[in-house]
Structure 1
Amino acid sequence: MLAVEGADPVSTPVHHLLDDGSFAITVPVDGPLSAMVTRAGAAGAQAVLEMTDYAPLPLREPVRSLVWIRGRVHTVPGADVPGLLDLVASVDPNPALLQVNSGDDSRYALMRLEIESVVVADATGAESVGVSALLQARPDPFCAMESCWLQHMESAHQDVVDRLASRLPAAMRRGRVRPLGLDRYGVQLRVEDTDGDHDVRLPFPKPVDDVTGLSQAIRVLMGCPFLNGLQARRLERPGG
């Protein structure tokens, strides 16, 4: 969502971080926010882009984290629009890009948000993030599989959730424990209790980079003595 003072916040189907530290964003072309930014001219308009990270499970409180990006939003000169669209599409082929600069059928205007500050917030608190750190960040190796993995874990492997929950302090095991997140650093659990929700991270012994390492790290958290899985042992008769 993009918010500019004096206009209602609007959804931004495209919000793509560019190499120069700005965001390419799309907003409804006929809305008041687009008109306000156009009238602001070269100075741009002060704005806040809010990104919401929703859990892939139907939790009581679905929001996992929030990111607020404050800066000034500018229109993109018409001559620069095709090139910027191609640049964004080469990395993120969002269908909404086809509705920018498409004549009478245009639904969105392409704009650029020049970053002044970034704040990330989750259950542990809020922290400012520098633009250089934002540009150096890379996608977590499990980001594409996280949603499916957590959904499968919830629906078919309650035993895994229970084993992970056994690592929590006894006072937190009274609530309903649900998988919340997964990344190379550990597993997050959400405890839904009568006194509210509590998020807990179970860290891996060391960061992992592939599925094999992830499987081993989760088994360690579960207390499994076999890093590569529970394998049946062949019992031999005495003297056999």
Structure 2
Amino acid sequence: MTHTAPVVAPHTAERVHSACANAESAMLAVPGLDPVPTSVHLLRQCGDIVIAVPANSVAAILVTSCGNTGTPAVLELTDQAPLPLREPVRALVWLRGWVHAVPGNTQRALAVAVAEDHPNPALLDVCHTATLLRLVVDSAVVADTSGADSVSREQLRQAQPDPFCAMEGAWLQHLHADHADVIDRLARHLPPALRRGALVHPLAIDRYGVTLRVEATEADHDIRLPFTTPAHDVESLSRAVQALAANPFEHGLHRI
């Protein structure tokens, strides 16, 4: 009988969705122009990203002048840990495709639709100091300490963010501030040589496991601790973390 290996981490397309949902900063790069910061960036299931850029930026003016054809562009998003780490960047995501202008008479309606899934005060600036653009994604690349992986537009359309990504930041901050004992017990999974003299922080959490950041003297290390089974709700996620903390010898290590 063939046994399927258990999933120990989100697949790449899911990681892209989660990183996009969590990223606080992003830059739109159009060939020949300086990158421009975006105040809104929402990856939608249809395979495009709605972004807001300053209305008076050269990028906004250029894209608008291109009409229906659009122009090639890359959106770079930075996924940062919600904790004060020595190196706060967890991952970088590059989404490549064609950026198009959103007609002026539909800007407000699109902003309202985006706000339903992605409430953001910056959407109030649309039609004033900001303008919306659509980046139709052809492919995406995500890079972290484990390396880089790419996914296609179709793979992105079939994926969803991790179900816990919206609450991940609050969970990690709560662990860091109020549950040093849990972090210490999770750190018992680490090889003694890696723990010695190092600071251990919770770096990420998703339905498949917890990732620890080990800040050692010579370098940082990211170690993933998988759950026995994926969590499906808040209660099962809490139980999975408690099980990891209770038994440091039951689960395997995965260096990222």
TM bucket (normalised to shorter chain) is: 0.7 to 0.9
Query: Which residue number in structure 2 is paired with residue 216 of structure 1?
Result: 239
Counterpart secondary structure, 1:219: helix
The 3 A distance-change label for structure 1 pair 152 and 93 is: closer
Counterpart secondary structure, 1:144: helix
Please, which moves more after superposition, 60-69 or 215-224? 215-224
The 3 A distance-change label for structure 1 pair 18 and 218 is: closer
Matched, 1:10 2:36: yes
Matched, 1:56 2:82: yes
Distance 1:61 1:220 in 2: 28
- In the TM superposition, residue 172 of structure 1 has moved relative to its aligned partner by 1.3
What do you get for the CA RMSD once the two structures are aligned?
1.8
Question: 1:77-106 CA distances to partner (integer Å, 9 max, x unpaired)?
Answer: 2233233223212222322222112xxxx1
Structure 2 unmatched ranges of 5 or more: 1-26, 249-256
Query: Which residue number in structure 2 is paired with residue 230 of structure 1?
Result: none
Question: 1:137-195 CA distances to partner (integer Å, 9 max, x unpaired)?
Answer: 23323223322221221222211111111101222112211111111110110011122
Distance 2:72 2:242 in 1: 48
Letter in structure 2 aligned against 1:87: A
Distance 1:6 1:91 in 2: 33
Distance 2:113 2:177 in 1: 39
What are the equivalent positions in structure 2 for 1:38-49 lying under 5 Å apart? 38-49=64-75
Query: Which residue number in structure 1 is paired with residue 148 of structure 2?
Result: 126
Distance 2:122 2:84 in 1: 27
Distance 1:207 1:163 in 2: 20
Query: Which residue number in structure 1 is paired with residue 204 of structure 2?
Result: 181
Please, which moves more after superposition, 201-210 or 172-181? 172-181
Letter in structure 2 aligned against 1:60: R
What are the equivalent positions in structure 2 for 1:199-214 lying under 5 Å apart? 199-214=222-237
Distance 2:167 2:101 in 1: 35
Does the aligned pair in 1 maintain the 2:107–2:131 contact within 8 Å?
no
Question: 1:193-225 CA distances to partner (integer Å, 9 max, x unpaired)?
Answer: 122111111000010012221222122212359
Distance 1:126 1:21 in 2: 21
Does the aligned pair in 1 maintain the 2:108–2:126 contact within 8 Å?
no
Please, which moves more after superposition, 216-225 or 175-184? 216-225
The 3 A distance-change label for structure 1 pair 158 and 115 is: same
Query: Which residue number in structure 2 is paired with residue 234 of structure 1?
Result: none
Query: Please, which of 154, 160, 185 is the counterpart of residue 163 of structure 1?
Result: 185
Please, which moves more after superposition, 200-209 or 155-164? 155-164
Q: Which has the larger radius of gyration?
A: 1
Query: Which residue number in structure 2 is paired with residue 228 of structure 1?
Result: none
Query: Please, which of 216, 227, 242 is the counterpart of residue 193 of structure 1?
Result: 216
What is the TM-score normalised by the length of structure 2?
Answer: 0.80
Distance 2:88 2:113 in 1: 33
Please, which moves more after superposition, 39-48 or 68-77? 39-48
Letter in structure 2 aligned against 1:205: T
Distance 1:20 1:122 in 2: 26
Structure 1 unmatched ranges of 5 or more: 226-240
Matched, 1:108 2:130: yes
Distance 2:232 2:91 in 1: 23
Larger relative contact order (C-alpha < 8 A, sep ≥ 6)? Answer: 2
Structure 1 runs of 4+ with >6 Å offset: none
Counterpart secondary structure, 1:198: strand
Please, which moves more after superposition, 125-134 or 65-74? 125-134
